[in-house]
Amino acid sequence: MRDDNFDELLLEALDEGLSSLGDSAKRVIYVYLEKTYKINRQDIPYKIDSFVDAIENFLGSGAKLLEILVMKHLHKKIGHKIDYNQELKDLIFTEYVAAARKTFLKKKKPGSPSPLCHLTLAKKRENVEIAAQAQY
C-alpha cells in the first residue's frame, strides 16, 4: 500500500541524512543511485532493499551511519514512538522503515489530526491562556 505522506516523510528524512554528508556528497549519491542502480529519488520508498544494497556497495561500512541518521530524522518526523521489535540484536534499516510505515499508518486514522496539528492546537491554547491572564 502506498502512502504518499509517509513516503514524503521518508524522502525528507533521507535528504536530511544525506545532507549531513554535505550537499555535494548528497548529489553524487543520488546520481550514483540513478546511473548504477536505476533508482531515482522518488522510487526509494518502493525500492528500499535495492537502495540499501546500493548504499552499502557505495559507502561500505559508512552506510550504517547514513542509515542511523535517516532513522533519527524519520523518527522526529513521524512524531510517535515507532513500534519496533526491541528484542532484535541489530537495528536493520529496512525493518525499521517498515515498522515506521506501519506505526505511521496506524496512528494516521481518517479524521484524526496529525502530530503537527496537535502542536498547533497546543500553541493556540497556550496563547489563549496567556491572553486570558493578561486581561486580569
Q: What is the pLDDT along the chain (136 residues), one digit of tens a residue?
A: 345 599 999 999 999 999 999 999 999 999 999 999 999 999 999 999 999 999 999 999 999 999 999 999 998 998 877 766 656 556 789 988 998 998 888 877 655 444 444 333 344 444 444 444 444 3
Q: Please say whether the structural domain 4-109 has been given the CATH code 1.10.1200.200.
A: yes
Q: Is residue 70 within 8 Å of residue 14, measured between CB atoms?
A: yes
As a whole number of Å, the end-to-end CA separation of the chain is: 53
The pTM for the full model equals 0.71
94 half-sphere exposure, CB direction, 13 A CA radius? 11
Residues in the chain, total:
136
